[in-house]
Chains A and B, each alone.
Chain A
Amino acid sequence: MAQNTLYNKIFDLHKIRQLPTGEWQVAVGLHLIHEVTSPQAFSMLKERGLPVAHPELTFAVVDHVVPTEDLSRPLSDPLAEEMLQHLEVNCHEWNIKFFDLASPEQGIVHVVGPELGLTQPGKIICCGDSHTSTHGALGALAFGIGTTQVAMVLGTSSLALSELKVRRIEITGKLSKGVYAKDVILKIISVLGVKAGWGYAYEYGGSTVADMSMAERMTLCNMSIEGGAICGYVNPDQITVDYLRGRQYVPHDPKKFDQLSQWWLTLASNPKEVKYDDVVKFDVNNLEPMVTWGTNPGQGIGISERIPEPKTADDQDALDYMKFKPGEFLKNKPVGVVFIGSCTNGRLEDFVQAAQVVKGHHVAPGVRALVVPGSRLVKQEAERLGLDKIFRVAGFSWREPGCSMCIAMNPDKLIGDEICAATSNRNYRGRQGSPVGRTILMSPAMAAAAAVAGKIVDLRNEIFNFY
């Protein structure tokens, strides 16, 4: 088993005792909850007459069902309203801080946690949502849990966990212009596959990651689960410390902050003493923008590549569903919808990159294009920079923050077998709300280019403002 990695250090720090099953009871330092996976957990507690053990370590958001056009209450969808009300009542009853629809901090749980500084290095963070791996970007151990486990964390601030192995993913090289963290993670999953991460935490490192901003690191860690790893992380460094300084939930006393950040830096895997269970290396010098052709996030190719011959029945099913043929290029495939947002790519930098491409252009006729900020703070900052105007003038719809068309639990849905150029994380069948809808995953800049062109393009070759 791995030794002296950040994973091992944080796991050991939170270990309480070994259980008869061989698993460890592990303390949980931050519990994030939302409206989809928590109501049943609160009911489970209530059935047993148990209180919430640590409301002060529990924070709630509403994100999945948020209608991104009209936030007035009651929400137009009575089921969404009911879910929201359950969360309100549960948070009120247990004195849990809830960033509700009216709150200036509202947004997608995986955008809100880091930007408020709730997410910090060294924490064990859980949420009933598989993209909780996002928070690993700040050097936390963060992973998604099921609703029964949400009840366990609510009731005990602890979980039963098996210790994971650690795979170091060493990424070196300089990303070309037009190539982003999203392309790096789509490449990694396309090479390693969607099951390679079973039983592992992924540690992302190397010169490319060292140069990445926090937003890029979050994109990388977000999709760890798409590679099968419930947890992915980047070792904390000066970029992490600088990102967190001054945020709402970190110590505001400079001396206290310095003390805490010194501790954060000691958690990083030390190359001199570290042992991994596996190491894989990626050179991204020649990486090109990535796009997916199938119905799982591992079915991705470079934009200049042809759709591969199916190797499995699963590949063939994916091609049938997407109505694509092996040997075709994805380039020039017409798109009906463009979605820029989600916990993968819903941060300020993502919208800056997309706006750079869009500026001075217009969405192609017949294309519905949505920009959905990951949080109210992201939205506010984007508006301060005038990005909303760039998008609006270009014909994009500029929305209220939420999960939106990544999962389509709100009114934002594909219709029929529309093709959507999406910056989200899953191209599963039916994921975007239409049982036959088709999703092509890509970076925000590539999705913006697709909106302008009305088809999938290689943004490096097109005459956008980008160059």
Chain B
Amino acid sequence: MSKTVTITGRGIILPDDNIDTDRIIPSRFLKCVTFDNLGGDVLADDRSAQRKAGAIHPFDDPRYHRATILITGANFGSGSSREHAVHALTKWNKDESGGIKAIIAKGKYSEIFFGNAMANGLVCLMVGARDWLDLTEMVEHDPQQKITINFDKMAVSLGQKTWALEFQQPAAREALLSGSWDNLTTLLEAKDAVDARLTTLPYLS
């Protein structure tokens, strides 16, 4: 994976806390053997509920059409370990905007989701509660403005304003800056040691 220092893009807001993986991609869309076509159905039930209520969901709102940075509440991605949720976000509007590339939440993410997202290059960040409100207001006011996330400075900026960012796992920043998020390659380096250990485990020997 290449080194990542900054991500720049427009914002989109889902203010709720506890958005679970079944909301991000309802289970009926999981019948697939590749992750390629999940983008269109991201948040499908929330979006259709809004349509039925005569309202417009942010993911259908033309104002947010080319957004790549999702701003959301705490405990995002709770529930299942299915990586489909990550891919539904990263493949939303893929052709036009390139999909969601980063998430800024006002609290921690569900742990399995965090791991899944980072492993697939969807960067999960946090800001303080007050900063989150400021950021949300500014994006709502003008969704066309570009947000810049800088991992070197661990800051997010929009217009004249800058706020401090945080990772829920400090190792994540290191991995992004050094480009070493590819765990499979790293793990393979110690394959012989793993094989040796397996032969000595009491339940396998």
Please name the residue on chain A nearest to B200 by beta carbon: A13
B34 and A39 contacting across the interface, CB-CB below 8 Å: yes
Residues of B within 8 A of A64 (CB): 30
Please name the residue on chain B nearest to A122 by beta carbon: B203
Q: For the complex, is B75 an interface residue (Cβ under 8 Å from A)?
A: yes
Q: How large is the interface on A (under 10, 10 to 19, 20 to 34, 35 or more residues)?
A: 35 or more
Minimum CB–CB distance from A133 to chain B (whole Å) comes to 10
Assuming the contacts A22-B170, A57-B198, A198-B108, asked whether A312 and B28 have C-beta atoms less than 8 A apart, the reply is no
Identify which of A40, A151, A431 contacts B27 (C-beta below 8 A).
A431
A409 and B169 contacting across the interface, CB-CB below 8 Å: no
Residues of B within 8 A of A151 (CB): 184
B45 and A194 contacting across the interface, CB-CB below 8 Å: no
Please name the residue on chain B nearest to A29 by beta carbon: B201
Assuming the contacts A37-B82, A37-B83, A43-B34, asked whether A260 and B23 have C-beta atoms less than 8 A apart, the reply is no
A436 and B81 contacting across the interface, CB-CB below 8 Å: no
Which one, A140-148, A175-183, A203-211, A356-364, is touching chain B?
A140-148
Identify which of B83, B184, B203 contacts A152 (C-beta below 8 A).
B184
- Bitwise, A370-399 to B at CB < 8 A (1) or not (0) is 000000000000000000000000000000
Assuming the contacts A79-B31, A120-B203, A296-B20, asked whether A129 and B120 have C-beta atoms less than 8 A apart, the reply is no
Counting chain B CB atoms within 10 Å of each CB, which of A16, A54, A146 scores highest?
A: A146
B191 and A145 contacting across the interface, CB-CB below 8 Å: no
Please name the residue on chain B nearest to A435 by beta carbon: B45
Please name the residue on chain A nearest to B201 by beta carbon: A29
Residues of A within 8 A of B120 (CB): 148
- Count the B residues whose beta carbon is within 8 Å of the partner chain — how many? 60
- Complex CA gap A157/B197 in Å reads 11
B188 and A156 contacting across the interface, CB-CB below 8 Å: yes
B186 and A230 contacting across the interface, CB-CB below 8 Å: no
A21 and B174 contacting across the interface, CB-CB below 8 Å: yes
Please name the residue on chain B nearest to A251 by beta carbon: B203
Q: For the complex, is A167 an interface residue (Cβ under 8 Å from B)?
A: no
B191 and A407 contacting across the interface, CB-CB below 8 Å: no
Residues of B within 8 A of A21 (CB): 171-172, 174-175, 180
- Bitwise, B31-44 to A at CB < 8 A (1) or not (0) is 11111000000001
Q: List residues 123-176 of chain A with CB under 8 A from any CB of chain B.
A: 123, 128-130, 132, 144-149, 151-152, 155-160, 162
- Bitwise, A31-57 to B at CB < 8 A (1) or not (0) is 000001101100110001010011001
Please name the residue on chain A nearest to B118 by beta carbon: A148
Residues of A within 8 A of B83 (CB): 37, 40, 128, 146-148
- Complex CA gap A130/B108 in Å reads 18
Minimum CB–CB distance from B202 to chain A (whole Å) comes to 5
Q: For the complex, is B18 an interface residue (Cβ under 8 Å from A)?
A: yes
Minimum CB–CB distance from A1 to chain B (whole Å) comes to 16
Assuming the contacts A122-B203, A145-B112, A312-B17, asked whether A36 and B30 have C-beta atoms less than 8 A apart, the reply is yes
Assuming the contacts A21-B180, A54-B198, asked whether A158 and B171 have C-beta atoms less than 8 A apart, the reply is no
Residues of A within 8 A of B34 (CB): 39-40, 43
Identify which of A14, A160, A433 contacts B197 (C-beta below 8 A).
A14
Identify which of A50, A57, A65, A435 contacts B26 (C-beta below 8 A).
A435
Assuming the contacts A144-B112, A435-B48, asked whether A13 and B33 have C-beta atoms less than 8 A apart, the reply is no
Identify which of B75, B81, B111, B191 contacts A156 (C-beta below 8 A).
B191
Q: For the complex, is A314 an interface residue (Cβ under 8 Å from B)?
A: yes
- Bitwise, B184-205 to A at CB < 8 A (1) or not (0) is 1011101101110110011110
Identify which of B81, B111, B171, B193 contacts A23 (C-beta below 8 A).
B171
Q: For the complex, is A278 an interface residue (Cβ under 8 Å from B)?
A: no
Residues of B within 8 A of A413 (CB): 28
B193 and A16 contacting across the interface, CB-CB below 8 Å: yes
Residues of A within 8 A of B191 (CB): 53, 156
Q: For the complex, is B78 an interface residue (Cβ under 8 Å from A)?
A: yes
- Complex CA gap A462/B44 in Å reads 41
Residues of B within 8 A of A50 (CB): 184, 188
B111 and A199 contacting across the interface, CB-CB below 8 Å: yes
B187 and A146 contacting across the interface, CB-CB below 8 Å: no
- Complex CA gap A44/B185 in Å reads 12
- Complex CA gap A328/B175 in Å reads 50
Residues of A within 8 A of B171 (CB): 21-23, 162
A146 and B174 contacting across the interface, CB-CB below 8 Å: no
Q: List residues 123-172 of chain B with CB under 8 A from any CB of chain A.
A: 169-172
B193 and A160 contacting across the interface, CB-CB below 8 Å: no
Identify which of A37, A65, A123, A433 contacts B203 (C-beta below 8 A).
A123
B17 and A149 contacting across the interface, CB-CB below 8 Å: no
Q: For the complex, is A428 an interface residue (Cβ under 8 Å from B)?
A: yes
Q: For the complex, is B72 an interface residue (Cβ under 8 Å from A)?
A: no
A sample of 12 inter-chain contacts (CB < 8 A) reads: A40-B34, A82-B33, A122-B202, A155-B184, A157-B194, A194-B18, A198-B108, A230-B112, A317-B16, A408-B28, A409-B30, A430-B27
Given A14-B197, A156-B194, 20 more contacts at CB 8 Å? A40-B33, A40-B34, A40-B83, A53-B195, A79-B32, A83-B32, A83-B33, A123-B203, A130-B112, A145-B112, A146-B81, A148-B184, A152-B184, A160-B186, A160-B187, A195-B108, A263-B202, A314-B17, A317-B16, A430-B22
| Chain A interfacial positions (CB closer than 8 Å to B) | 13-14, 16-17, 19-23, 25, 27, 29, 36-37, 39-40, 43-44, 48, 50, 53-54, 57, 64-65, 77, 79-80, 82-83, 86, 120, 122-123, 128-130, 132, 144-149, 151-152, 155-160, 162, 194-195, 198-199, 228, 230, 260, 263, 296, 312-314, 317, 407-409, 413, 426, 428-431, 433, 435-436
Q: Which 6 pairs across A and B sit closest by C-beta, in order of nearness?
A: A146-B116, A21-B171, A144-B81, A79-B31, A435-B45, A39-B33
| Chain B interfacial positions (CB closer than 8 Å to A) | 16-18, 20, 22-23, 26-28, 30-35, 44-45, 48-49, 74-75, 78-83, 86, 108, 110-112, 115-116, 119-120, 169-172, 174-175, 178, 180, 183-184, 186-188, 190-191, 193-195, 197-198, 201-204
